[in-house]
Amino acid sequence: MATGVRLDLDGRPIKPMTICMIGAGGFIGSHLCEKLMAETPHKVLALDVYNDKIKHLLEPDSLPWADRIQFHRLNIKNDSRLEGLIKMADLTINLAAICTPADYNTRPLDTIYSNFIDALPVVKYCSENNKRLIHFSTCEVYGKTIGSFLPKDSPLRQDPAYYVLTEDASPCIFGSIEKQRWSYACAKQLIERLIYAEGAENGLEFTIVRPFNWIGPRMDFIPGIDGPSEGVPRVLACFSNNLLRHEPLKLVDGGQSQRTFVYIKDAIEAVLLMIENPARANGQIFNVGNPHNEVTVKQLAEMMTEVYAKVSGEPSLEVPTIDVSSKEFYGEGYDDSDKRIPDMTIINRQLGWNPKTSLWDLLESTLTYQHRTYAEAIKKAMAKSVAS
């Protein structure tokens, strides 16, 4: 717990607040709860269906923050306690979402409901009760870059004006309706527009966060260990799962898509600045990513293979990757965006935030965690399946 008076970016003392965090048991929520407990005096009402990723913050009563975090097991879909918990807090942070691309095609209805319909009451209760809202959206709302529609050999494809994504100027460009991959981005865009409208018409104090591939320990799940065997998590956990099982990494359509990755601990610093500097964060939409950590998915696979060999002490496979088609991997209706590079001007100007961790360092930290947490369990599970 922090001692002494903590000041915001404008030199004003930060008052302790109560935060209602929806989705507190997930990857981002668990890191944010840790940070709030260790470094601030704030209280957290942690709402989620599961609490495995925050158990270490809840269990012993002797923890210095035992009276500052309360877990409420609830599903926001259908729980009458939701409004009361939002009313008890000064600020609500909504992290709840279905956010794994494998689901966008195969469960488009759940995806649209979870990201739009289920978020509506949260926005409504914040607006009606004059409570501040930090809503987590996604970089997917940008869809495809303008550059992706230019001829392959156009020199303009190299011009940042055609691919760098800015919160206040870039259009949101999605594929056709039959490409159900965009069900997620479209639902996320519509809830952003609704929140923005609540701000304009009813004075809702809001901040919208657009994460660009935050990665680190506790991300997603490892299929068959702490998630469904047939589940397909996001790229980092998919590749980790392959590495842990000594299987080649599957490159969808050759792994040519480009992505930027940011370390979860850097990203959480940005979120804390938003929480504690409402005057600078209200009414803003923030890209939170690391434009310097850009790689193709194929390059990511190669780096992860090299880093995992280093942290595990086990040699890499002779053939570390295999190509699969997106149809085979994700099913019918898949589509992708070519590049995702965040413009950092707004967050830099408003909050002075910059990411620090290089891609190599964040992969080393994450894969060390994955190896330590899962290697033994996977060996056992694989031995069991061989025996049976």
From first to last of its 388 residues, the chain has per-residue pLDDT tens of 445 789 999 999 999 999 999 999 999 999 999 999 999 999 999 999 999 999 999 987 667 888 899 999 999 988 899 999 999 999 999 999 877 776 777 889 999 999 999 999 999 999 999 999 999 999 999 999 999 899 989 999 889 999 999 999 999 999 999 988 899 999 999 999 999 999 999 999 999 999 999 999 988 777 777 776 666 677 888 899 899 999 999 898 888 888 999 999 999 999 999 999 999 999 999 999 999 999 999 999 999 999 999 999 999 888 889 887 767 766 666 666 668 899 999 999 999 999 999 999 999 999 999 999 888 888 888 888 777 6
SS3 for 300? helix
Alpha carbons within 13 A on the beta-carbon side of 101? 23
Write b or e for each residue in 3-35: b if 16 or more Cβ atoms lie within 10 A of its Cβ, otherwise e.
Answer: eeeeeeeeeeebeebebbbbbbbbbbbbbbbbb
Does CATH number 3.30.420.40 belong to domain 97-375? no
Q: Which two tokens stand for residue 182?
A: 């965009």
Q: Which phi-psi region, left, alpha or beta, contains residue 224 (left: φ > 0; alpha: ψ -120 to 50)? A: left
- In angstroms, the CA 11 to CA 84 distance is 33
Q: Is 104 a catalytic residue?
A: no
Residue 103: predicted pLDDT: 76
What pTM did the predictor assign?
0.93
Task: Give one DSSP letter per residue of 307-374, joined into a string.
Answer: HHHHHH--PPPSS-EEEE-HHHHH-TT----S--EE--HHHHHHH-------HHHHHHHHHHHHHHHH
Of the candidates 104, 163, 184, 330, the residue annotated as catalytic is 184
In DSSP terms, which residues pair with 297 in a beta bridge? none
In DSSP terms, which residues pair with 13 in a beta bridge? 7
- Helices 182-202 and 108-115 meet at what angle, rounded to 10? 20
184 CB neighbour count, 10 Å cutoff: 26
Q: What helix, strand, coil percent values describe the chain, rounded to 5? A: 45, 15, 35
Residue 295: predicted pLDDT: 94
What are the distances in angstroms from CA 340 to CA 97, 173, 266, 357?
A: 20, 13, 18, 18
In DSSP terms, which residues pair with 136 in a beta bridge? 209
At CA 239, angle to CA 235 and CA 244, rounded to 5?
150
